[in-house]
Amino acid sequence: MTDFKRTRNACYFTNVIMASIFTLPPLLFVTFRETYGISYTLLGTLVLINFTTQLLIDLIFTFFTKYFNIKITLRVMPLLTSIGMFIYAFVPMMFPDYAYAGLVVGTVVFSVSAGLSEVLISPVVAAIPSDNPDRDMSRLHSLYAYGVVIVVIVSTLFLRVFGTENWMYLTFFWAFMPLISFVLYCTSPLPDVNMNNDSKDGKKKKHKGMFLCVMCIFLGSAAENSMTNWISSYMENALNIPKVVGDVAGMALFGILLGLGRTLYAKYGKNISNVLLVSMICAAACYLVSGLSQNVIISMIACVFTGLCTAMLWPGTLILMEEKFPNPGVAAYALMAAGGDFGASVAPQLLGIVVDKVTVSEWAINLGTTISLTPEQIGMKTGMLVAALFPLTGILLLLFMIKYFKKKDKTEVS
């Protein structure tokens, strides 16, 4: 019998390293703004490019799965990650006048790899023979969150010791890490992955239910990634917390709670519909508190606890989809990933636009004078209030979904 232990570990390690693609850029947003004069809107556009590229990959796999050699694609994937991050660091360092162009090109390349990772790693882990496949899948998702913590701590310490002006060397370090995944994949046996859609459900019934699940993962991803991408800048600029403290006590704790929530559900969780509903309610409360409170400690706590509140919104929607549509097939997972990536691209970009527009508005200047805040702080807090719209909408959607699936289950039983 083939031993896939090394293969499983390769998938786990890849998911940890993939956290650098999503976590490192937000840590550098303020550095890019101060060094290259890049606006918050353009910084938000980098996030939009990241997830839009992943969205495109998800859609390609949704409709053209059978044309890919999965084993070759999986092995090439880490190389794309490294190439993208090298471009991300190299172009601004060598051509500072074209810094943003380099960031865009690098983002596109490593985002292709991230999209492939989302679509392929979960099915590969699921295809590996295991005594406890649910535990393996839960561990895979939680490791990403713990990867966020590792990236934040290592990157923050580096920038603290060597200075933000040396950010490109930090990026070079993270660019070398995916090469380990490349070696592991090339020296490990890969299981055969079923890329077909094996679902036997009626198309009309499935389409409506799948649409609801895609909308749910869109809103959940928007709620999670709004904070993931802006918590570092928010704590530094809106709350006036030193960067090293904000990144470690803010972004790192956010990642820890994100992983903890997924780990706890893997061990004790049940009734995923109610978990998703409560998560949306708590996430909305966290955004409202962080945007409205003028107390720095309370705002910081609200930001951090958004990690716990949003922990299950992405993987939990996948669990719900699996419960309602057994044997969904890889195409269904790719479609769900597309919904999640769309939410992760739209939300941070929207926050960047809101912050820039509000910061230069007259009412922000007047309001800031009244409550002793700068226009930029007003803009940041307004962005948090706008982000609350995603989980608030998610509450309404989940109430409808619970009712819809309950009725659907009764109809099928009768």
Domains in the chain (CATH in brackets) are 5-413 (1.20.1250.20)
Confidence of residue 206 (pLDDT cuts 50, 70, 90): low
Q: Residues 205, 210, 215, 216: is their CA dihedral positive or negative? A: positive
Q: Is 389 exposed, middle or buried (0-12, 13-18, 19+ CB in 10 A)?
A: middle
Q: In the prediction, which pLDDT does 202 show?
A: 46
CA nearest 155: which of 143, 166, 169, 170? 170
Question: Looking only at Cα atoms, what is the longest distance across the chain?
Answer: 72
Helix (H, G, I), strand (E, B) or coil at 171: helix
Q: Give me 267's structure tokens.
A: 């061990």
CA nearest 52: which of 265, 182, 306, 225? 225
What distance in Å separates the CA atoms of residue 306 and residue 91, rounded to the nearest whole number?
A: 35
CA nearest 233: which of 348, 366, 131? 348
Q: What is the pLDDT of residues 362-405, one digit of tens each?
A: 999 999 888 888 998 999 999 999 999 999 999 999 999 999 99
At residue 282's C-alpha, the angle toward residues 279 and 285, to 5°, is 150
CB 209 within 8 Å of CB 331: no
What distance in Å separates the CA atoms of residue 64 and residue 56, rounded to the nearest whole number?
A: 12
Confidence of residue 79 (pLDDT cuts 50, 70, 90): very high
Element (H, E) at 369: helix 362-371
